[in-house]
Structure formats: C-alpha cells, structure tokens
Amino acid sequence: MHIHLINLDRSSERLAEFCNVNRHLTSVSRFAAIEGSALNPDDLARRGLITKDILARDFFTPGALGCAVSHLALWDRAIANNRTVTISEDDAIFNQHFELRAEEVLKTLPADWDLIYWGFNFDLFLCFDMLHGVSPCVATFNQEQMRAAVAAFQKQSTAPRAFRVIWAFGALCYSISPKGAQVIKSKILPLRPKIFQLPEAKGVPPYSPAWRMVGIDNCINTVHREISSYVCFPPLVVSKNEAPTSMTRNSAPEPNSPSNG
C-alpha cells in the first residue's frame, strides 16, 4: 500500500520524525502541503472549492484551509488516475503490522466502498455502527495514556475490523477510492461556515450535539450517513495530536471544538 504523506515545506523536523518513527513502512512519497496563508480565497471561490466567508471567526483558519486543499488535491489525483489513494498527515504513527493488516481489512470491504479511516484522534469520541441496524457505539479514549504508550501501540498485533463510521475526528490516515473522492467532493463542496448536528454526541464530553465546520474531517463527518465509509477498529494509526505543532491550529480555536450555538 503506497502512502501519500502531506507535509509542509517548512516542517522538515516533522518529516524527519515521521520517517524515523515509521521507518518500517515500505512505500511512502511526500506531498508538499499547501500553505493556507498563500491561498487566494477569491480564486478558490471561483473554482467552487469554498465560499468567501470560509475564514469567518470560529470556523476555518488559514492553516485548516491549506490542509483541506491539500487533501482535496490528492482526492483529485485518485479521480484522475482512477486509483485508490492512501493519505497520511505527518504526525501519524503507524502500527508495525499496518501494511499487512490494512490489506486484510480492505479485502473485507464491499466493492462500492468510498473511504476508510485507519486511525482517528483520541481527544474526542468516535461514533461507529457497532451492530448494523441495531446500535451505534460511541467510544472515548485516553489521549494522554496513548501518547505515553505509542511504542507499545506500534508493537502490538491486533485483528482489526472495518465498521461503518458515523463520526470520527482527525484525517491523520485514510484510504479513499476514486468513486469516494468524487462522491464526497460533490457533497461537501464548496466548503463553507456551517453548524451541523450529531445527536449521538449529547452523551459524551463536551456534551454538545452541535458542531462547527472547522476542518476537512468535520466536512466529511457531515456525509458519512450518506456514503459507504468505514473506520478500522482498533486503529492501525494514531497521532499524539499535539496542538503547538499542528498545521491547522496556529492562532486558532480548537478545530474539533463544539459549536457555541
């Protein structure tokens, strides 16, 4: 499985750390991430990618916009080449058995699958269809404990399964099919300031059913119920998810924070 690694030109230290931590991966190519501050919102609006008010307060930051456009560029590559692409951000930490286990999980997906997450952020919840048609599952995690145990995570051998995903935070690593890229783009573009509802979130911190459109992950979250998307559980990829070094969070509110509305 080839991995397209999103990394800013100015983030050479993050690139070096990724390569060191994930040196067991056999096929990785770097994709130069797009600097949000260099983007022209008027041009993106003319191309149908955003509405001009996307950078409104409490919604997208320039960093989050650059990150989103980077992901979209790789989706376009999947469509143009008619090939599935696997996308990783540069703070991702891969299990040592990732390549074997991910291929095994892919073989269990239906032919019309759109997207599968190989990992997700641990600071908030994950919602997936545990028993199809019977009950969803809302799972929470201990991010601090995970951060201290990434070496143990990398060594563990697990037997993950694919579950239909309802909500997942973070776009740290996922595979997207050509059909999935086309379908998801048609449903989420143009990116715009928006508040949307997740009823299942009312029972877990921060106990809010209303969420802001603040990043590409939340944009995709709005359409999971309409597409064929999955999450690998337990995950094969994690992230320490450290805000000070994030390409999306500089001088910005927490991108996965709930709406105040």
Q: 174 to each of 44, 48, 105, 255, 261, how far by Cα in Å?
A: 24, 24, 12, 19, 30
Q: Are 125 and 198 in contact (CB under 8 A)?
A: no
Q: From CA 45, how far away is CA 132, in angstroms rounded?
A: 39
At 82-138, the pLDDT tens digits run 999 999 999 999 999 999 999 999 999 999 999 999 999 999 999 999 988 899 999
Task: Please spell the DSSP secondary structure of 133-193, one letter per residue.
Answer: TTEEEEE---HHHHHHTHHHHHH-----EEEEEEE----SEEEE-HHHHHHHHHHHPSB--
With H, G, I as helix, E, B as strand and everything else as coil, classify residue 179.
helix
Specify whether the backbone of 170 is left (phi greater than 0), alpha (psi in -120 to 50) or beta: left
21: phi then psi, degrees, rounded to nearest 5: -70, -30
DSSP class of residue 231? Answer: E
User: Per-residue pLDDT averaged across 27-50, rounded?
Assistant: 96
All structural domains of the chain, each given as residue ranges with its CATH number in brackets, are: 3-242 (3.90.550)
User: Per-residue pLDDT averaged across 177-181, rounded?
Assistant: 98
Please report the pLDDT score of residue 133 as a whole number: 82
Please report the pLDDT score of residue 132 as a whole number: 82
Asked whether the predicted pLDDT for residue 56 surpasses 80, the reply is yes
Amino acid at position 3, single letter: I
Q: Are 127 and 198 in contact (CB under 8 A)?
A: yes
At 221-252, the pLDDT tens digits run 999 999 999 999 999 999 999 876 565 654 33
Please report the pLDDT score of residue 259 as a whole number: 39
User: Per-residue pLDDT averaged across 41-53, rounded?
Assistant: 96
pLDDT band at 254 (very low <50, low <70, confident <90, very high): very low
Please report the pLDDT score of residue 253 as a whole number: 35
Q: Are 65 and 55 in contact (CB under 8 A)?
A: yes
pLDDT band at 39 (very low <50, low <70, confident <90, very high): very high
User: Per-residue pLDDT averaged across 159-170, rounded?
Assistant: 96
Please report the pLDDT score of residue 256 as a whole number: 42
Question: HSE of 42 in the Cβ direction (CA atoms, 13 Å)?
Answer: 0
